[in-house]
Structure 1
Amino acid sequence: MRFGSLEFDGGENVGVCTRMASVLAPSTTVRPIAGGYASPLPSRLTPTKVHYNPQPLRSMKKSKKNAAASQSSRLPLLPTVITPNLRLRPQAQGADYSSPSPSDDATEDVFSWSSVVIPFLFPALGGLLFGYDIGATSGASISLQSAELSGTTWFNLSAVQLGLVVSGSLYGALAGSLIAYPTSDFLGRRRELIAASALYLVGGLVTGSAPDLVVLIIGRLIYGIGIGMAMHGAPLYIAETSPSQIRGTLISLKELFIVLGILLGYLVGSVEITAVGGWRYMYGFSAPIALVMALGMWALPPSPRWLLLRAVQGKGALEDYKEKAMNALAKLRGRPAGDKISKRQIDETLVSLKAAYAEEESDGSLLEVFQGASLKAFIIGGGLVLFQQITGQPSVLYYATSILQSAGFSAASDAARVSVVIGLFKLLMTGIAVLKVDNLGRRPLLIGGVGGIVLSLFLLAAYYKVLGSLPLVAVGALLLYVGSYQVSFGPISWLMVSEIFPLRTRGRGISLAVLTNFGSNALVTFAFSPLKELLGPANIFLLFGAIALLSLAFVFFYVPETKGLSLEEIETKILN
């Protein structure tokens, strides 16, 4: 006799099969007849698939579990057949056994690594170009002010003029995040990233060929607008197109690309620092990378979730958008167009999206992000990117050279080498976060990392107050800070921002988070110099340590775990 894909020889095992049927379908009855049992199941049991589920039969009520347990005490054990992860799925006669059930695909997306690399790579280039600007500007600001090396007649820049050049991309990023707020849902993730790459391209070319200071600053602003739009669109596109099992890994890898960009900027700067007009090459080097990003994004499909969002919003025919979404998902997963798995996943996403919109029939206003589940998401995401900026990263890196010099490291005499050393360490620690984020989860990395930040800041304060004779304490605290930041606030903040917002407000919510990030960055940049003069290093590290302690409490009490959940599950299980 066969039950599903399990074969029984008869005798006592027939009773085992019958009892298993009663456990799987408690509401049915089995009546004895001559020579055996009559079951409500089909008289000829067709073989079915054996499916594996990390939570077998947990949907049964407790009373049914107890009943099954009491029955199992009378059953012979079958350890070689039934495992803790085994789920048997009886099918009606004539059912289609060739495709998995919806619940299987909702739990785990079917994908190949080769199919997810390209949809990740080109959006991640937006992060690399952001990091490249940070690294290249450190060398370009030196080259630009050199009478021998600038190659200009306007090299003698004032502090305000130099500040505008250095911070021009930051102001542009603020403008870009403001532009993204009302336009992101209209443009879509893909077109937003194409626009960002075009702004990167134009900004890099204008900056590299600037004939005077005004054009240089305009080029920096254009490039910065590209940063604001890319840092909004890239996590959105990656989050909405990634399989849920590796979403955390891929979005954290985007942070790794930012660090790689910083290192690339340092490298190009160190090569071109002795060339006349080297700053032009440093800024212009971003243009070909931006062109690759633009061509790659042009070839990628739109986000399937964005297409469904437009359908539910009534921006076009539902069936047309649904068909486009199915084709986009199939292309992203490397499947044939119109395959059953993509169709089922699109149907499930559409159902959850319609349910979300059914609660509020209107399209919502620009202020909808400050209401209900969206407000809760903004508190979580906005809080993380705010604490990311105000827990002292600029101040720690500012004192890095003097700390290493006090410990006797010869590399500290060369600021460029110190930057490369710290950049390599950041890269290493970010790699650890990338490898562990979908294994350990978001909360453990955040709590452990922010705890390390708190300890390192108080150690630095103690060094400048009472432990000045122990420079190795400062070096250890510096490395602890950098490492802890790169496994917590560095990658996890943007990961949480990209996945925590409901789909209907995700575009606007992330634009507000990006605005919060760059706004707080600008605030810290402006406030650091006067605070440094007013408080001194010991007290400024105490201040940042207290803020970091507050951020640790915020993470512990407010930030949820999203590991392994689909974006729709995050919306229904955490935000509602």
Structure 2
Amino acid sequence: MAAKVGLFPSSSLTTSPHAIAAAPTNAPRPRGARGLASPGRSAAAMDAFHVSSQAAEPLLRTTGAAAAAAAAATATSNPRLRVRTHAQGGEAPSSGGAGDGAAGKEFSWSSIILPFLFPALGGLLFGYDIGATSGACISLQSAELSGTTWFSLSSIQLGLVASGSLYGALGGSLLAYRVADFLGRRIELVTAAALYISGALVTGFAPDFVLLIIGRLLYGIGIGLTGYLVGSLEIDVVGGWRYMFGFGAPLAVIMAIGMWNLPPSPRWLLLRAVQGKASVEDNKKKAIQALRSLRGRFRSDRVLADEIDDTLLSIKAAYAEQESEGNIWKMFEGASLKALIIGGGLVLFQQITGQPSVLYYATSILQTAGFAAASDAAKVSILIGLFKLLMTGVAVFKVDDLGRRPLLIGGIGGIAVSLFLLAAYYKILNSFPFVAVGALLLYVGSYQVSFGPISWLMVSEIFPLRTRGRGISLAVLTNFGSNALVTFAFSPLQEFLGPANIFLLFGAISLLSLVFVILKVPETKGLTLEEIESKLLK
């Protein structure tokens, strides 16, 4: 039976482009090859995760955001995360090869947890900027709390503060494409952590506006829900914005130290050999040592060597396939063009319906809604963040039951209603603060069951195998570029048009995106990647 594309266990639901950036494949995995795969994954998931290390792992990660994508890349090197016991009687072990039965009774948990934990800190760092910026912009503009003489920022300057990390992310994604294979996944993550540290420190100690923006660019991408928590504690402190922006440095130090002590990626070592940049035999030995470190010591050398050999064959096939792809213009032909319109359209509308602005300026919106104290607004932002997490869980459990299109259509409808409610609040309902809070909750909930996770799930499914790497690259660039532009433009547009009109504009764009989904986006529920290409992209 053909395996179906789904969330558990065959695909991964994420609101971030970075995990997806490591997921595309450029060539199907050779039949019978075990490599570094999990036997529990479906064939579709095999296609999504067994990728050319050159084509997929380095694609479009920011030097800062590289952490999240490389976390997924590191994860593919260590998927067999199950406890195995002695075979009973004359029974063969349930998995693995000869010589791997009794030895697999126990293993080191650190060999399993640490390779996921330290790269995952990059994912934590990814979202931090949203929460930290929301509170820091309030503190930074306050004559009493900024602790500076340059607190009177124009709307353009405020837009640069909010979007600076996103422009850094956009530039870093182009840089990462060139340096990822040269540095390797581990050193790339260490470099990313160093940039986080530098950006956080420069921003936190910035004596003037120019250095603040330089720090934001270095910072690259933010760092997680922690931003809301820190914002609620430091927002009423003089110079509290410095603490909010600088808080990422300790997390980045932990990430850098942890990544430095992890082994190199076995797939990267094998890729270097395939590319002719290292000896095949030497790097196979290094890959076996790295794999033993990642899996624990309780695996026989022969079993590990077999897996490395199979993975080497897979990488050779994928590398050869990628070399035959031709130039980037292949993306604008036939099925690839149709997939690009669908995937690119989804991630574009994901941003230009106002999502970055609503989250980056959530604290400001809540202050105008009657939560006069900045700390009160930040606390409500925490509740919104928790609600966001809850609604993501709803999407996780329902997307394979309900399908992609129903969640997209229903969620985008909710987004449009919430934006029109925000416009109405600023226009005629400003004496009812619960309208603004309710609209924010509706926006967050609707986004988290539609554009947030489903866009990236669709992007991971919709591109033909041969051009998936490049297709997702373009989707990620579109995402970063539109995110940066919307975040930057929100403050000047709000000043020029007024908040009511800006939310009306976003609401109108949401209706346009709803029409796009209804007319252009197919349902991929229950289809294999091959069926999607043959049935939906013709």
* Bucket of the pairwise TM-score, normalised by the shorter protein: 0.5 to 0.7
- Distance in 2 separating the partners of 1:159 and 1:501: 39
- Distance in 1 separating the partners of 2:465 and 2:266: 12
- Distance in 1 separating the partners of 2:277 and 2:516: 44
Name 1:143's counterpart in structure 2.
139
Name 1:451's counterpart in structure 2.
409
Given the alignment of the two structures, is residue 426 of structure 1 paired with residue 388 of structure 2, yes or no?
yes
- Distance in 1 separating the partners of 2:209 and 2:361: 30
Contact 1:180/1:511 (<8 A) preserved: no
Alpha carbons of structure 1 residues 353 and 575: separation in structure 2 relative to 1, 3 Å: farther
1:182 partner amino acid:
R
- Distance in 2 separating the partners of 1:311 and 1:501: 28
Name 1:544's counterpart in structure 2.
510
Alpha carbons of structure 1 residues 379 and 196: separation in structure 2 relative to 1, 3 Å: farther
1:180-202 alpha-carbon deviations (Å, 9 max, x no partner) = 12222322322221111000001
Name 2:15's counterpart in structure 1.
none
Given the alignment of the two structures, is residue 211 of structure 1 paired with residue 207 of structure 2, yes or no?
yes
2:284 partner amino acid:
K
- Distance in 1 separating the partners of 2:360 and 2:279: 55
Give the secondary-structure state (helix, strand or coil) at the position aligned to 2:522. Answer: helix
1:546 partner amino acid:
L
- Distance in 1 separating the partners of 2:199 and 2:175: 17
Name 1:11's counterpart in structure 2.
none
Given the alignment of the two structures, is residue 120 of structure 1 paired with residue 110 of structure 2, yes or no?
no
Contact 2:371/2:377 (<8 A) preserved: no
- Distance in 2 separating the partners of 1:403 and 1:158: 18
Name 1:522's counterpart in structure 2.
484
Alpha carbons of structure 1 residues 558 and 181: separation in structure 2 relative to 1, 3 Å: farther
- Distance in 2 separating the partners of 1:201 and 1:479: 33
Contact 2:352/2:509 (<8 A) preserved: no
Name 1:285's counterpart in structure 2.
247
Mapping for residues 159-558 of structure 1, pairs under 5 Å: 159-224=155-220, 227=221, 261-262=224-225, 264-336=226-298, 338-359=300-321, 382-394=344-356, 414-433=376-395, 436=397, 441=400, 444=402, 446-460=404-418, 478-494=440-456, 512-528=474-490, 530=493, 537-538=503-504, 540-551=506-517, 554-557=520-523
TM-score, structure 2 normalization: 0.65
2:245 partner amino acid:
Y
Contact 2:235/2:374 (<8 A) preserved: no
- Distance in 1 separating the partners of 2:463 and 2:300: 29
Structure 1, gaps ≥5 residues long? 1-51, 56-95, 229-257
Alpha carbons of structure 1 residues 574 and 555: separation in structure 2 relative to 1, 3 Å: closer
Name 2:130's counterpart in structure 1.
134
Picking from 125, 143, 155, the partner of 2:151 is 155
- Distance in 2 separating the partners of 1:274 and 1:287: 21
Give the secondary-structure state (helix, strand or coil) at the position aligned to 1:556. Answer: coil
TM-score, structure 1 normalization: 0.61
- Distance in 2 separating the partners of 1:150 and 1:329: 50
Structure 2, gaps ≥5 residues long? 1-38, 43-90
- Distance in 1 separating the partners of 2:458 and 2:347: 10
Contact 1:450/1:551 (<8 A) preserved: yes
- Distance in 2 separating the partners of 1:171 and 1:386: 16
- Distance in 2 separating the partners of 1:53 and 1:180: 32
